Structures are given as C-alpha cells and as structure tokens.
Chain A
C-alpha cells in the first residue's frame, strides 16, 4: 500500500543515515543485520531501520482514566527496547490512535492501523467490549494484538496474546486462599453488570459450591456507573457473609466503598475480596475508604523484586512520581517486550511466524516476575493477594508457589 512504498522511496536518505548510526550498536550486540525481505514477507511496515507498531487505547471518554496507564507503560517499554537497539536491529516507531471509549471507533482505528499503516503489532484495548469489537478485524486482516487486561476468558485467537490473567487464574487461587486463611464458609457475590463480572462470578460460584463445598448467600449486579449501593449493603448486613466478593468496576467503586464505610462495615473485620480494584482505582476511591480490603491479581506496585523496582523507578522517571501502577499497567508493559522476544525467536516480523513462535516465549525481566506464553496465547503467571493500605498501596501477603496455568475454557466451570 501507499505508506509502504512511500517509506522505501521517500525516506531512503534517512535509512542510510540512521542505518549508519545503528551499525555500531548492532556490532556490539553481535546480531546480524537482517535483510528486510527475509524478516518481512507479508508487506508489514518494516524497513531496514524501523518497524511500525500501533497503540490503540482510549485517551478520551470514560475509559481514558483507566487506559492512560496502559499507554504510558507501552510507551515506556518501547523506549527501553529502542534504547537497547530495537527489535531485530530496527527501532520501534509507534502510531497512536484513540479508541475514544467507543467500541465501533476501536474497530475503525484497528482497521486503519492494520490496513493503512501495516502495523507489525498493535498494543491495545482495555474493556472486553473493545476487544470483541476489534477481534474480527485482527482475524480478517491478520494482525497481532497484545491485550493487557484481566478478563473473562472464553476466548482464544491466533491473532491475540493475552498479557493479563484470564478469569480462572485470578479467581481460584484467591478463593482457595480466603477459604484456608479466613475459614470462609459464606460468600456474597457482587458485580457490575456486564460479561466480565458475570462470567467471573459464575466461575467463583462453581468453585465455592463444587470445590470448596461452601455457600453463596447472595449474588447481585449493578449497571455500569451505578452509585446507590445502600440496599445491597443492608442485605449484606442481614446475611452477614464471611466474605464479600466484589467485582465492581470503574467509577461505581468510589460510591460502593464510601457507602460501605459510611454504613459501618469495617473492612478490618469484614473480609472483602475484590479482583477489580487496582492501585489506579484506589486513586479515585481514596485509600482510607478501602484500607483492609483484599485484592487478588497478579501484580501490585509494591512487589519486592529487582525487576519491579527498576520498572517502578523508570516509570516514575518518565511519567512523574505521582503516577500509580496497577495490574493492567504492568501487563501492558509486558506487551512490547513479549513481542520483541517473540519476533527475535521467530527471526521474522511475519504475523503467522510470530503467532507460531509465541508459545513458550519466556520473559524473565517482567516486573511481576517470570512469565511464559502458553499454547493458548495466555500467560503463565503467579497470582497474589494484597491487602489495601491507607496510602493507596497494597501489602502483598500471599503468592502462589507456582505459575498458574491459564485455562480460558475451564471444564466444569461453565
């Protein structure tokens, strides 16, 4: 397409110049300079010195507050990879598009990134709805999407690498922990009313009833953006569950936790386990309103390991000391790195080869610790339980001994 021919004709002088500049760096790394034809047989936007990728998140609209962290993490990872010499000797150039919190816009922009810009990979999407909207586009035009959010599972595609956890990874370990540590016998399930909380609670209920042999005493859903939780809080007070299991998303969280506190439910005594509140959400909720609650996910900013310390300080250096890093932000950071490692393993930018090379790719430098891509294009990762502090951070109090296998189509949980 036009953009490609423009690259090879119009920018030839820049090629030579930047090619010269890159040569010593390549020599140091001891990596052969790949001829373009062999690493790119399908007409992607790859020149001898540059490779173009896309970043597709909402930077406007209601989701902007959540997705900004992902954009920042992806840009940081791209910067760091470029500083180390790029991918197969090519610097990564990104084109950013705004999904505007609107699913059809996501589909339109995804198509633009694949068809017009010929992006070798796209890092993006956040909500399930946006992923569902772009999935047919990625499958039709054979693109590669790195999707960062923890999500409901029930999906697997050659054209997507899921760098967040699917539902069973996040849920089962957390429930096992709370059953063992807290001796929990009764659970009250809450959620925002859409596919992810509903599917997650379905898995949670099966596990609570069939595996733990305990009881669900209530299950309720609220529209996105709901702010009146008084009636459900009263029901919780009446049923006195051992555990409140909350999968409330977005702005509703602020109202929910404030009303919970106002109703006199003390989270230092009442166990509350959530899988939807990261450090980003606590920023809005206020640490004092949620202190004492438990969250179960794969990453917390306070994780104590050298990778994470380097990541957090690089992130703060680039985006300011006040920014907090939640689970999804870290998962977004994995995207460009996993793609780089996969491309280098495949020795090619071709989508088919990258998809085929993905299973087994390991990333030892992940802030969350070692991760590996499974045959089903999800990540093997550890699951952790954190307890919210008043300063908006979590104390990590438990982590699974081994990596948890991703199982997007769990048998017995459907």
Chain B
C-alpha cells in the first residue's frame, strides 16, 4: 500500500509538485493522468526514492526513504542495459541481492514463462522489438519480487497495436502476481482500459484534481457506452487543465 501525504517538490524556484496526497491500496491498479509536463514523472521518482521531496511517503504504513526494495520501476525510456542479455537484465537485481545461482535461474525461467519470452534469454536488447524490450523491462522490475510496480508511461513510444497487446499482457500478469501498480499515462483511453482508479492531476505544479473509480468488468470493451462515458468525463477534466494552461499562456503574452 502506498500513501502520499502532502508531497511537494520544488526545483530551484520552480514548483513541480504541490501537496499531492493520495493512497493506493494493496493489489490495486491505479493510473495517474495529467497534462504533459505536469510533474507526473517527478512524482513517481519521488515515490521510488530517486528524488528528494517534502511531505511524507509511506509504503505499507512505514515512512519510505531512499530506494525501497518493495518497489519496482519501469521507465518511460527503453532502459534495458544494452550490454546484458535478456537473462542478464532480468538477473541484475538478483545479483545485487547476491541470490544463489540456482534461485536466479529458477526466477528467470519463471519470468520467461510468464512473459512468453522463452527462447530469447540470450538475445541482446537491440535484437528485440520495442514491445519485447518493454516486456523484459517489466520482467526485470518484477524479478526481485517487489510488492509495488511503478510504471512511467511505459508504452508511450510504441505503435497502437503493440500498445494494446501489451496492455492486455500487463493485465494478465497483474492478475497472476497481484502487485500494486501505480501507472502514469497521458493517454485517457489507456487509463480507463487498465485501472481500478484513475487520478487526474492538475497542470504544474501538480496536485490531485479529481478521482474516478472505474467499476467495469475486465476485459473492457473500449466501444461500450460505459467506457466511452467515463473516458469523456476524464477527458473533460483534463481539457480544463489544458485550456487554463493556454489561457495563462496568452495572458502572459
């Protein structure tokens, strides 16, 4: 479980986050949507312990400081270590934890199974498609068995088809592993398709604007009236932020 209390962040004079409070229950899939450049990535990195911040972040009720082994992270970039094979990437965290060889092999084997990557363990990242690289990146984050998975727009640079496929794949894996997922996106469709809850953030400095519970049966039909209506509502909230941003921009002229 993740709990944020009044988390704020300023870089130099520039306020990035302003009193963000939210909580994600254990096993829940939450999406954060917000206008681009609003500070979503910074918020995620604060939770992961990669950035300093003001306020409190608790993981399972305990104050979290620095890197937390309960947290796995999937980057927006293609962040696999290019010099390691698929297997090497998956093992990286396990090696740091000095796990015995046998255990590492077992974990990697089960991840290859889970992600349907059998036969690719000795391939280098540059030999894989973008979608496969993303799968390996998720598998790498899951290898050390964290309770929480933070995902920063992981599918942003993929084509629509691959993206849809990976969304389904992610849900399948989430169903099997019961991780708590905090997923950032600016794509409302993706958020509604994936999440139990969607949080809309304001423009920078980011704070929580509105929360939506998505109580639709999975696998969700993107064309169903319910889906479309929730999607519309969230888009409306989001557009207000864009309009204000543009307004302010004009006034600034």
Q: Do A and B bind each other?
A: no
